[in-house]
Amino acid sequence: MMSNALRWVVLVAFISLTICGNMLVCLAVATSRHLHQISSCFIVSLAVTDLLLGLLVLPLSAMLELRNGRWPLGGVLCNIYISLDVMLCTASILNLLAISVDRYLAICSPLCYPRKVTPLRVAITLTAIWMCSLAVSFVSIHLGWNTPDFRLQNQHWDMWDEGEEGRTCRYEWNNNYVLLNAFGSFYLPLLVMCGMYHRIFCVAREQVRRIRATTPSFAQSASAAATAREHKATVTLAAVLGAFVICWFPYFTYFICMGMWAEKTPSNLLHSVVLWLGYLNSALNPILYPALNRDFRRAYGQLLRCRGAN
């Protein structure tokens, strides 16, 4: 009982943090005129995605944890739950990818940014993100593309029909689906994000080098400020990319291993750890992305009535 009570408290706190943090991002953009810019669209899309994950998926995932994997709501709702989970996690990762590309264009091509990043292109990008997320979740799962025999998973049991050993809400995988899904949903976005942020870091370092080269020896404050900016940029990029890798790399590695060697019995504890570690990224996003922006920090302060709100 003590163990279950502790798990219950931790899960409720985690879900509340995810919901409140992403709601704060949406409210910050809605109430601050400084954030009414086109680059905020991707951050709002990310926040909405993570907010929906916290509202629709995480409570059901917590229920599975507290019931030791037993699912009482039938096969149809199980497939809907799994599809929502896959769709929202995929959309969250693709939104992170879009943010990295947006920042790359803003920093590396600032003069061409207004011409390249238009409202129409942003709308097309966001539509493509959600269409791709739907394709790898609801479409593929409900057409049976993910199962070894290409049949719809979890379809032959009803609500509260747990049987003698209990029903588990399973996400079935076949080899081709695992490889395509993992590569398209994680490894390819990871490679692109690494390339974008590496280029951003190189451009920032080059700007610092130019500032130092043109700064007279007596103007040490400007050089010190440039060094501070370089350090901040390094820490920011390391935090953003590091959190993404730490949260999602274990899950997709596990995902591939279980899919390629289906005869292995998956560990419930290991599955729970890597799954909730991936969910952690949705709780960290409101901190890592908007909170590193001065306008977002100011909006946060106004919403939370902090002393530095002005």
Residue 308 pLDDT level (bands cut at 50, 70, 90): very low
Interval 241-260: pLDDT, tens = 889 999 999 999 988 888 77
The mean per-residue pLDDT over the stretch 109-121 comes to 90
Q: What is the pTM of this model?
A: 0.87
pLDDT of residue 264: 55
Average per-residue pLDDT for the chain:
84
Instruction: Classify domain 2-309 by CATH number.
Output: 1.20.1070.10
Closest by CA position to 172, among listed 206, 145, 196? 145
pLDDT at 309: 42
At 224, the pLDDT band (50, 70, 90 cuts) reads: low
Average pLDDT over residues 47-71: 92
Q: Are 157 and 73 in contact (CB under 8 A)?
A: no
Chain segment 30-49, per-residue pLDDT in tens: 988 888 888 889 999 999 99
Q: Is the pLDDT of residue 298 over 50?
A: yes
Average pLDDT over residues 107-114: 86
Quote the pLDDT of residue 165. Answer: 45
Looking at residue 162, its pLDDT comes to 53
Of 115-129, 204-218, 222-236, where does the model show the most confidence? 115-129
pLDDT surpassing 60 at residue 227 = no
> What pLDDT does residue 284 have?
92
Res. 307 pLDDT band, cuts 50 70 90: very low
Nearest 5°: the CA angle 151, 153, 154 is: 140
Task: Report the 3 state secondary structure along 37-83.
Answer: CCCHHHHHHHHHHHHHHHHHHHHHHHHHHHCCCECCCHHHHHHHHHH
Percent share of the chain, pLDDT over 90: 43
How does residue 73 score in pLDDT terms, banded at 50, 70 and 90?
confident
pLDDT greater at residue 264 or residue 42: 42
- Rounded to an integer, the average pLDDT of 14-24 is 95
Q: Give pLDDT, residue 291.
A: 66
In sequence order, which residues have a C-beta less than 8 Å from that of residue 82 and are 6 or more positions away?
A: 141, 169, 171
